[in-house]
Amino acid sequence: MKNFIYSIGFLFFIILFIPQTCFSQDTCFVTVKYGENPDAGKFAVVNGIRMYYETYGDPANQPLLLIHGNGGSIYAERCQIEHFKDRYYVIIADSRFHGKTENGSELLTYDLMAEDYNSLLDFLKIDSVYIIGQSDGGIIGLLMAMNYPKKVKKLVTTAPNLRADKTALPQWYIQLDRNDLKEIEKRIARGETSADIIRLKSQINLMVKYPKISNKELAKIKAPVLVMAGDGDIIKLEHILDIYQNIPKAQLFIMPGATHFMLRDEYKIFNQIAERFLDNPFIRPTTKEQLIK
């Protein structure tokens, strides 16, 4: 959910940022600094904004769209770019209100971000992709599969939530987000208007008020979906199970000893499971089928 630190001293950042930046097992080797690579980076004018993106690998390979989480950027999925770029045509962008991509003039919502990514694929003349999305990126992936079904061949959605209430998130986390949003609004009211504070308000407002997806809407998804989470995730596991059970063609993977940031902390296992799903035909076997033949 969070992938970099604003130096504003909020408890929210101490809890969410420090575990992933200081104590993680993030040791994946990278050949370039993703997100800062002039050889791979370009801007596309899509959906009313200039969107920064990078591409890696052979354009003749299967396209794979990576979508980062809230507060992140292209670099947040460096362990996935490095792993998948030799076999896939990897596309990754800074989302609206993140990184080098412009904010635009509209209220930041997940539906708007899904429109951005759909427009980016149109700009690149790519008719369909595999998607790996983490946290907010997982939510965007679900919305793309619902709203642009022809664009999504397979989806790996990692630790998404459908709602911003206690059915999906622990109350302590909900309260932290609300407190942080109030504090930011106070700072803006006192006259602080930096670009960072405006972006931060939009990012936290997004998590406080959105998404608003019903379980029934998931039934619209036709693509095979792998739903992933850590057993120590910020998203309640019963909520992850609800998502899995309401998608017609879904598989479920809960990683033991892992958190919301497993795509970096446990990137080897994460990449292996995602690759297994993407490379093989979708199946959803049952024990009953195995026992009764």
Domains assigned to the chain: 11-280 (3.40.50.1820)
Beta strand 49-56 with 41-46 is antiparallel
pLDDT one-digit tens code per residue, 123-153: 999 999 999 999 999 999 999 999 999 999 9
pLDDT at 208: 97
Neighbours of 280 (CB within 10 A): 9
Q: How confident is the model at residue 293 (pLDDT cuts 50, 70, 90)?
A: confident
What is the C-alpha separation between 185 and 225, in angstroms, rounded?
38
pLDDT the model gives residue 26: 53
Residue 179: per-residue pLDDT: 97
- Listed residue (94, 136, 99) closest to 116, CA to CA: 94
pLDDT at 18: 31
Q: DSSP letter at 165?
A: S
In the numeric block, the tokens 């940022």 are attached to 17
Tell me the C-alpha distance between 107 and 199, whole Å: 11
Q: Name 115's Cβ contacts closer than 8 Å, sequence gap at least 6.
A: 47
pLDDT per residue as tens digits for the range 44-61: 999 999 999 999 999 999
Between the two ends of the chain, the Cα-to-Cα distance in Å is: 44
Per-residue model confidence (pLDDT) at position 290: 86
Q: What are phi and psi of 264, to 5 degrees?
A: -110, -45
Nearest alpha-carbon partner for 156 in 171, 172, 139, 168: 139
Q: What is the pLDDT of residue 88?
A: 98
Closest to 8 in 3D by CA, of 255, 267, 144, 199: 199
Element housing 153 (H / E): strand 152-158
pLDDT, tens only, 215-241: 999 999 999 999 999 999 999 999 999
Q: pLDDT per residue over 2-43, tens digit each?
A: 443 333 333 333 223 333 333 345 579 998 999 999 999 999
Q: Token pair of 219, please?
A: 């039934």
CA–CA distances in Å: residue 186 to residues 6, 9, 198, 207, 218 = 17, 15, 12, 18, 37
4: which 2 tokens? 């970099």
Checking phi first, is residue 9 left (phi over 0); if not, alpha (psi -120 to 50) or beta? Answer: left
pLDDT of residue 109: 98
Question: Regarding predicted confidence, which is higher, 19 or 201?
Answer: 201
pLDDT of residue 24: 43
Torsional sign, CA 278, 279, 283, 286: negative
Is-cis flag, bond preceding 211, omega within 30? yes
- Average pLDDT of the residues of the chain: 91
The share of the chain scoring above pLDDT 70, in percent, equals: 91
SS3 letters for 95-117?
Answer: CCCCCCCCCCCCCCCHHHHHHHH
pLDDT tens digits, one per residue of 106-128: 999 999 999 999 999 999 999 99
